[in-house]
Structure 1
Amino acid sequence: MQGRSSNIQVKMTGEQQDVLNSWLRKSTTPAGLAKRARAILMAIAF
């Protein structure tokens, strides 16, 4: 098996993406929240 394919699509506005990116840049963002934000942003990159 080469990998899994999925029909799941993540859609968000540019403003929502900006918020997630700002959380990643802040040094005061809790690690768990930053990790989830990063995962969401990676999901929309594909």
Structure 2
Amino acid sequence: MLSSHARIVALTVFVSLVIGPLAAFSAPIEPTETGFYRPLRTDYVKTW
């Protein structure tokens, strides 16, 4: 069994991987300061 912390991290990564592409197709995209592209509506999500 995974610890609760590992489960939260895994869930966060999974959700971001699923929602990221979907949001990218449905929102305007701009380059970020780190050079990665990110949807405007997920601007509150920190990029690694």
Compute the TM-score of the two structures, normalised by the length of structure 2: 0.28
Compute the TM-score of the two structures, normalised by the length of structure 1: 0.29
The structure whose residues are more often strand, as a share, is 2
